[in-house]
Amino acid sequence: MGEHAEARRLGVETRPVLVGPRSFLLLAKSTEPGFAPLRLLDGLLETYAELLERMAAAGVAEV
């Protein structure tokens, strides 16, 4: 989030783009045959929530 802070210091308002958690998992590649990436969704949602909270604390108004 350093780039966002730098842009704000320069007077540029940015809007970060974040791939959604389901899309992220469906795009993932596994080396394990039969692996179902969506089984990781619950844990990933917690991580996304934390990331969005950190972004809001850094002053990101819209994602």
Using the predicted structure, report yes or no on whether residue 1 has a pLDDT greater than 70: no
Tokens matching residue 2: 């350093």
Contacts of 13 (CB under 8 A, 6+ apart): 7, 61
pLDDT digits (tens, 9 = 90+) for 23-60: 999 998 888 898 899 999 999 999 999 999 999 998 88
pLDDT: which is higher, 2 or 11: 11
Mean pLDDT, residues 15-20 taken together:
92
Contacts of 40 (CB under 8 A, 6+ apart): 25
